[in-house]
């Protein structure tokens, strides 16, 4: 299976390095310093106390890579709309597109229950002008949920933290041959890979856990353990999670775990910097839309009361705008 990874940052670099090391024909789409570093040194991966360097074909031009069997999109949310149209040279008649990204994806409402009063299934907070859906239609998509931590401390270098679980699945649910094929490829690269018959529920479950921790960490500069151990902050996050639970229940993504149980799992992971905190510290654009604004948009359509989600969105967005990490209001 010919695989291209779009974005060789932390998650994309980890997936590309491990898939290539397992013998899969992997190429990468990257820019600037990352492109130069991977060309010169290969994809460097620090994992388990050892560093490896895996050479892969890399370019800043999708046409140079050609048609693929699988395109893994590992961009940050703010970059996807601008990049989507440029990915067309990677897409053949049967190419599968798998976004390995945080938060609510552009295709998420396409498979929501028909009786959910959502109106337009396009999410304005994610794909305001429809460019992503036009370039990457849902029928091409295989959903993916990433349960691991890693960082890219410098271009072309990925440092694995903990976890190796990847869940894939069809947006419309059920099982498919292509989902199993991709799962097997990921498993061959050492990931704990699963094919889920309900990937939308998996997306919402992960979002339910990190839509609070990520923005709160960016607002406060605190690592995860400090956030969880503050009783007032924890109470605010649990209230936010209950609102998100209600929204999920109305779109076919029920969460059975309690917020307290989810936070107990996070506490067991120890101290870590969330991806949004890493982005804030590096002055990179923040993924507010996919993690919080999309949830607020869906809840608004469903008329779910969301005082906590609204406060979290407003505070995080204002902070990011003041620091130049989110577009100004128009």
The pLDDT tens digits of the residues spanning 303-320 come to 999 999 999 999 999 999
- Tokens describing residue 183: 């799962």
pLDDT for residue 281 is more than 90? yes
Region at 156 (left for phi over 0; alpha for psi -120 to 50; beta for the rest)? left
Region at 206 (left for phi over 0; alpha for psi -120 to 50; beta for the rest)? alpha
Rounded mean pLDDT, 172-177: 94
Q: Helix 231-250 and helix 199-220: axis angle, to 10°?
A: 150
- Where would I find the beta strands (DSSP E) of the chain? 3-6, 26-29, 43-47, 50-54, 57-59, 68-73, 91-99, 143-147, 150-154, 157-160, 165-169, 192-195
pLDDT for residue 330 is more than 60? no
**Angle in degrees, CA 292, 70, 113, rounded to 5:** 45
* Distance from C-alpha of 183 to C-alpha of 243, rounded to nearest angstrom: 33
* Distance from C-alpha of 315 to C-alpha of 317, rounded to nearest angstrom: 6
- Tokens describing residue 127: 């794909």
- pLDDT computed for residue 156 by the predictor: 97
- Tokens describing residue 52: 């490896």
pLDDT tens readout for residues 90-101: 999 999 999 999
Counting residues of the chain whose pLDDT is more than 70, the rounded percentage is 99
Tell me the catalytic residues: 206
- pLDDT computed for residue 115 by the predictor: 84
Is the pTM value of this prediction over 0.85? Answer: yes
Residues 6+ apart with CB under 8 A from 290: 77, 101, 102, 103, 104, 105, 125, 126
- Residue pair 16/28 in contact (Cβ under 8 Å)? The answer is yes
Q: Which domains does the chain have, with CATH numbers?
A: 3-197 (3.40.50.720), 201-322 (1.10.1040.10)
**Residues forming a β-bridge with 189:** none
* Distance from C-alpha of 306 to C-alpha of 239, rounded to nearest angstrom: 9
pLDDT tens readout for residues 42-79: 999 999 999 999 999 999 999 999 999 999 999 998 89
pLDDT tens readout for residues 230-272: 999 999 999 999 999 999 999 999 999 999 999 999 988 888 8
* Distance from C-alpha of 292 to C-alpha of 146, rounded to nearest angstrom: 18
Give the helix ranges, DSSP H, for 189-274. 199-220, 224-228, 231-250, 259-268
Backbone angles phi, psi at 192, to 5 degrees: -80, 95
Q: Residue written as tokens 């295989």?
A: 142
Secondary structure of residue 46 in the 3-state scheme: strand
Buried b (16+ CB within 10 A) or exposed e, 198-220: bbbbbbbbbbbbbbbbbbbbbbe
* Distance from C-alpha of 2 to C-alpha of 13, rounded to nearest angstrom: 16
- pLDDT computed for residue 77 by the predictor: 87
* Distance from C-alpha of 71 to C-alpha of 48, rounded to nearest angstrom: 27
């Amino acid at each position: 299976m010919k695989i291209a990874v779009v974005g060789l940052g932390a998650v994309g670099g980890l997936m590309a390095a491990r898939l290539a090391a397992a013998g899969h024909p992997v190429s990468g789409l990257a820019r600037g310093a990352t492109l130069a570093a991977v060309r010169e040194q290969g994809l460097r991966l620090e994992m388990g106390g050892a560093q490896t360097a895996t050479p892969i074909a890399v370019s800043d031009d999708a046409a140079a890579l050609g048609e693929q069997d699988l395109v893994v999109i590992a961009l940050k949310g703010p970059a996807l709309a601008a990049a989507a149209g440029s990915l067309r040279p990677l897409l053949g008649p049967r190419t599968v597109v798998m976004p390995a990204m945080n938060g609510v994806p552009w295709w998420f409402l396409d498979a929501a229950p028909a009786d959910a009063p959502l109106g337009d299934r396009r999410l304005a907070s994610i794909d305001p002008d429809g460019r992503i859906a036009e370039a990457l239609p849902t029928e091409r998509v295989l959903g993916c949920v990433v349960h691991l931590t890693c960082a890219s401390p410098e271009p072309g270098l990925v440092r694995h933290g903990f976890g190796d679980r990847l869940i894939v699945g069809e947006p419309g649910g059920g099982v498919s041959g292509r989902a199993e094929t991709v799962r097997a490829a990921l498993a061959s690269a050492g990931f704990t890979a699963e094919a889920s018959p309900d990937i939308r529920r998996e997306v919402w479950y992960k979002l339910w856990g990190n839509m609070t921790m990520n923005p709160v960490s960016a607002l406060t500069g605190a690592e995860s353990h400090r956030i969880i151990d503050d009783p007032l902050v924890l109470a605010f996050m649990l209230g936010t999670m209950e609102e998100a639970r209600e929204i999920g229940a109305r779109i076919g993504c029920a969460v059975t775990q309690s917020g307290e149980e989810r936070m107990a799992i996070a506490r067991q992971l120890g101290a870590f910097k969330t991806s949004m905190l890493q982005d804030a510290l590096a002055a990179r654009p923040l993924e507010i839309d996919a993690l919080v604004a999309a949830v607020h948009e869906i809840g608004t359509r469903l008329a779910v009361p969301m005082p906590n989600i609204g406060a979290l969105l407003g505070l995080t967005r204002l902070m990011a705008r003041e620091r130049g990490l989110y577009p100004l209001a128009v």
